[in-house]
């Protein structure tokens, strides 16, 4: 399968790793949209949050357990935002589920 984030997880494409465990991999976004911009992805390929099922949800649950550790690692003591874009209308450009962690400044209230 031709998937950019699978290639990053496999080490075929370099990335700036922030965190890794059995289920997930976190790395800095190549085009940061905030002072801190990190992506967290499940190691198993899931196309988007719209494809989360009971069967693959363990990996997703694990990501949400990992996120506070990742945020601490990134020094996000004063809060942050988690975003996941889905499909065409959600402007998802990489079709491998990922959660953006954005922070390091006071973010705008505008989410759309």
Q: Which residues bind ligand AMP (CB under 6 A)?
A: 4, 13, 15, 29-31, 39, 85, 91-94
Contact with Zn ion (CB under 5 A) among 66, 80, 96, 98? 96
Strands (E), 21-79: 24-28, 36-42
Q: State yes or no: is 45 an active-site residue.
A: no
Active-site entry in 37, 45, 96, 98: 98
**Applying CB under 5 A, which residues contact Zn ion?**
3, 5-6, 45, 96
């Amino acid at each position: 399968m031709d998937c950019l984030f699978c290639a990053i997880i496999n080490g075929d494409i370099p990335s700036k790793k922030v965190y890794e465990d059995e289920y997930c991999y976190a790395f800095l976004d190549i085009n940061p949209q905030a002072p801190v911009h990190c992506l967290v992805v499940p190691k198993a390929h899931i196309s988007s949050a719209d494809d989360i099922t009971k069967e693959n949800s363990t990996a997703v649950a694990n990501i949400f357990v990992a996120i506070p550790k990742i945020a601490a690692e990134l020094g996000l003591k004063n809060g942050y935002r988690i975003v996941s874009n889905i499909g065409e209308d959600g402007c998802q450009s990489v079709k491998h589920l990922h959660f953006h962690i954005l922070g390091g400044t006071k973010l705008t209230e505008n989410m759309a």
